[in-house]
Structure 1
Amino acid sequence: MTLHYRSIWISDTHLGTKDCKAEALRDFLDHVECDYLYLVGDIIDLWKFKSGFYWPALHSDIVQRIISKAKWGTQVIYIPGNHDELFRKHVGIHFNGIDIQLDAIHSTRDGRRFLVVHGDGFDSIVCHNKSLAYIGSEAYDILLVINSWFNKIRTMLGYNYWSLSAFLKHKVKNVVNHIHNYQYILGLEAQKKQVDGIICGHIHHAGIVELETGKTYCNCGDWVESCTALVEDTTGQLAIVHWLEDSQRLLDQAAALQSSEEKCMVNNIID
């Protein structure tokens, strides 16, 4: 069963690291079709290559699936982030059906215009103190290792996956304030560019927020913790898909809809 969307945004997959939830990402790509696929930065984690090369076959499978979608008609736009910023040198290049762009303007089916950026350019820590950003990345990696062992124990006890690091993000005041400030700054950028909203990644915190300015802030999340994507349906409505939690429900709904449509077709033929 395949889920059909007009547009899909994914970011922060961090291919090339052990933290990437590659099986979940491959499963997602196997079950979706779309007209537009935006890769919103930090898709391949080139930072990690400095400390050793890690690239299992599963990560190549994901790249091949993206290239295959481009080959069969999906417009694929790659907007590099800070972890894959070397690709920014190749902005404007069309490679294997994939367009590399610094940013993009996306028009939804209902006529709204969204600026699509990775978002690191609006993060004061990354912009003004790159060494601190590297330290923060290492600390985050340690937290992910703790999170991995924590969830192995939960699985042994029969519990579902639960993100310790995501929980801490919500509870630690400074991090919460940082997320709110990030949303506010990006909302100002949407005003400056005279668009209806902004779509980004970078901070690994998926969500859709209607800002006080009237602009819409969308973050497509990540594939090292939450396994989330931003999607646009055929009417232009936007939603966050939490693949680990939502996949079975969405696939069941799609199967039920297809079955209903097939019954209607049979009834029309008989009539």
Structure 2
Amino acid sequence: MSHAEPLRPSRKQRVRTLWISDVHLGTRDCQAEHLAHFLKGYQAERIYLVGDIIDGWKLRSGIYWPQAHTNVIRRLLTLSKRGTEVIYVTGNHDEFLRRYSKLILGNIQLVDEAEHLTVDGRRLLVIHGDQFDVITRYHRWLAFLGDRAYEFTLVLNRWLNHWRARYGYGYWSLSAYLKHKVKGAVNFISDFEDAIAHECTRRGFHGVVCGHIHHAEIRQVGEVEYLNCGDWVESCTALIEHWDGRIELYRFAEAQALEAALRLAELGEPA
């Protein structure tokens, strides 16, 4: 199943686990409103924040923090107070938090990586994934240069969706589309998946949940189950574990379109 069921605001869907990565709070391209809408629809036993939740790189050059970004933090804190275990796995954009790894504050834990055991007994490594990105790890100046080019596509993406919304169209990611079409990006994604799958095999894990490359996917890489959360900058995606151990990929654009179709059906209008 490629997307989650649309939810009515009046009721929440109870699930076992949510995985969210690459929110990049503190940047203009963060889709905080969409994320808050998503979080309001679920009651989870455990939430993994799989790195790059706060963008420390961007915050160094200036503070951008609108109310919508605060609302996401408040939502997560409220969930933790109500019993949800929140596990924050550090990433490269929030690497300033790595000095505080193993910190525990109530129901909130800060770690560099975690192990998740599914209902049906699969051991999953939960890690952001920058450790397996050669450019980020060994050529930081290239990472920053690439980050600038990426930011430009996100600006185009922001304006495109501004006008799409004005004319009644749903969210669509130009940057994610380009990522699928550029050969170099496709090869980079494949190399990243192979590297992280190899590490899982070496350490005896059945699978991995990661983020970092902003490319949501569930697939087999050899003997390893590869699950990437995606992001809340361009694709607006997350992973959901249900009570039977099934893990599905949630796509906000698909859920949004389905909710709109249901509203039209309720009004007796053709979709």
Distance 2:13 2:257 in 1: 11
Alpha-carbon offset, residue 150 of structure 1: 2.1
Select 2:189's aligned residue among 155, 179, 192: 179
Report Cα offsets for 1:79-121 as digits up to 9, x if no partner.
Answer: 1100000100000111353100110000000110100000000
**Are 1:228 and 2:229 counterparts?**
no
Distance 2:260 2:160 in 1: 29
Question: Residues 150, 204 of structure 1: CA spacing in aligned structure 2 closer, same or farther, 3 A cutoff?
Answer: same
Alpha-carbon offset, residue 158 of structure 1: 3.9
Alpha-carbon offset, residue 155 of structure 1: 3.4
Distance 1:243 1:160 in 2: 10
Deviates more, 1:176-185 or 1:96-105: 96-105
Distance 1:85 1:96 in 2: 22
Deviates more, 1:74-83 or 1:236-245: 236-245
Alpha-carbon offset, residue 252 of structure 1: 10
- Quote the RMSD (CA, aligned, Å): 1.7
Q: Which letter maps to 1:226?
A: S
Distance 1:230 1:19 in 2: 21
Q: TM-score, normalised by structure 2?
A: 0.89
Q: Which letter maps to 1:71?
A: K
Report Cα offsets for 1:113-159 as digits up to 9, x if no partner.
Answer: 10000000000110111111111111111110011122233334443
5 Å-filtered alignment, 1:9-28, equals 9-28=19-38
Deviates more, 1:62-71 or 1:5-14: 62-71
Q: TM-score, normalised by structure 1?
A: 0.89
CA contact (8 A) 1:12 1:222 kept: yes
The aligned counterpart of 1:162 is: 172
Question: Residues 69, 216 of structure 1: CA spacing in aligned structure 2 closer, same or farther, 3 A cutoff?
Answer: same
User: Structure 2: where are the runs of 5+ without partners?
Assistant: 1-10, 263-271
Distance 2:177 2:106 in 1: 39
Deviates more, 1:243-252 or 1:146-155: 243-252
Q: Which letter maps to 1:189?
A: E
CA contact (8 A) 1:24 1:244 kept: no
**Are 1:70 and 2:80 counterparts?**
yes
Report Cα offsets for 1:226-264 as digits up to 9, x if no partner.
Answer: 1100110000011100123215748999xxxxxxxxxxx
Distance 1:61 1:86 in 2: 22
Alpha-carbon offset, residue 75 of structure 1: 1.0
Question: 3-state SS of the aligned residue for 1:139?
Answer: helix
Q: Which letter maps to 2:15?
A: Y
Aligned length: 252
**Are 1:219 and 2:205 counterparts?**
no
Distance 1:193 1:115 in 2: 9
Question: 3-state SS of the aligned residue for 1:20?
Answer: coil
Distance 1:88 1:160 in 2: 37
**Are 1:53 and 2:66 counterparts?**
no
Q: Percent same amino acid among aligned pairs?
A: 46
Report Cα offsets for 1:5-53 as digits up to 9, x if no partner.
Answer: 1000000000011110011011111111111100000000011112110
Distance 2:112 2:30 in 1: 24
The aligned counterpart of 1:36 is: 46
Distance 1:57 1:216 in 2: 37
CA contact (8 A) 1:121 1:127 kept: yes
Distance 2:106 2:67 in 1: 19
Distance 1:74 1:252 in 2: 32
Distance 1:24 1:156 in 2: 17
Distance 1:248 1:112 in 2: 33
Report Cα offsets for 1:153-201 as digits up to 9, x if no partner.
Answer: 3334443322111111111111001111111111101101101001100
Bigger radius of gyration among the two = 1
User: Structure 1: where are the runs of 5+ without partners?
Assistant: 254-271
Greater share of helix residues, 1 or 2? 1
Q: Which letter maps to 1:221?
A: G
Distance 1:91 1:144 in 2: 31
